[in-house]
Amino acid sequence: MTLKLLDWNVYCENGNTRAVTEFISAQNADIVCLQEVSEELLARLSRLPTHALATALDEYRVKNGKHIPSYLVIMTNLTVTEVRAVKFKRQPKRSLLALFARWLRIEECLEYQYADVLFMRGTVLKKPVPIRIFNTHLESIAGPKHRIARFTQVLRSFAAGKRNIVCGDLNVLRAWYSFLWRLFLKFLQGELVTWEELWIKEYKVFEKMFEKAHLFNVFNGATTHEWSGNQLDYILVPQGTEIARKTLFEETHGSDHKPMLVEFRL
């Protein structure tokens, strides 16, 4: 028996909320992890009869003088034993970076979330497999050390005796221009981005973190964000997990990220 998992950054200003909802419903996934869910989309998702729904605060964007939130959402048709939204530890920002974020009208990545669920292994053993599923979105307007620290915070919430699975938009760049982006951030952040940090191969650091946490990157090397040419989105499962099928959808239904679907055996 396989478990089906869908992960997707749906984009907070995506106006195609009906198409997004219909696509999610059509996949019939056991677990769905979404980032940047608007209030309009959240209202649609909450009306779906097949899934329990848990939310956390993803980010704020300022529009017409109002702070408009978007959300992290975990949806599941499995038995839920616990859900939790956890605040990220805030790091101070220097004035220029604060002005830049204010100019973009964004306050990013405020919480991450996890849900403990029970999955039935099969019809013979009748023994549920405990899973802790994480949903996270790491900040883009920040240097590598910031994302590394936040991902480390997520890893500290791993549960012994459970299958820990991590989904989300980690915003890890491996493209050639990542140095220029960090240089720009250094100008904004001053000493909060060190010269040493400019040269960090961030994706290599994250690969080592995955290995140390015994996680396998299902879509390793895939381009999940066409505009940047990067794998920004991840589904990380325990090493040794048998992957039955995986799909990276080309149709984005108004998002700037591609939906990712994986079926695996536990």
Closest by Cα among 82, 61, 81 to 71: 61
**Residues ≥6 apart with Cβ < 8 Å to 92:** 192
**Residues ≥6 apart with Cβ < 8 Å to 98:** none
Q: With a cut of 50, which residues of the chain have pLDDT below it?
A: 94-97, 99, 102-103, 123, 191-192
pLDDT per residue over 12-24, tens digit each?
999 999 999 999 9
> Yes or no: is domain 2-265 CATH 3.10.180.10?
no
pLDDT at 161: 93
pLDDT at 125: 55
**Residues ≥6 apart with Cβ < 8 Å to 106:** 59, 60, 61, 62, 141
CA–CA–CA angle 235, 237, 241 (5° rounding): 130
Closest by Cα among 78, 81, 73, 23 to 50: 78
**Residues ≥6 apart with Cβ < 8 Å to 212:** none
pLDDT per residue over 241-261, tens digit each?
999 999 999 999 999 999 999
**Rounded-to-10 torsion of CA 217, 218, 219, 221:** 40
pLDDT at 196: 64
pLDDT at 113: 98
**Rounded-to-10 torsion of CA 242, 212, 56, 228:** -80
pLDDT at 56: 98
pLDDT at 228: 84
pLDDT at 138: 94
pLDDT at 67: 79
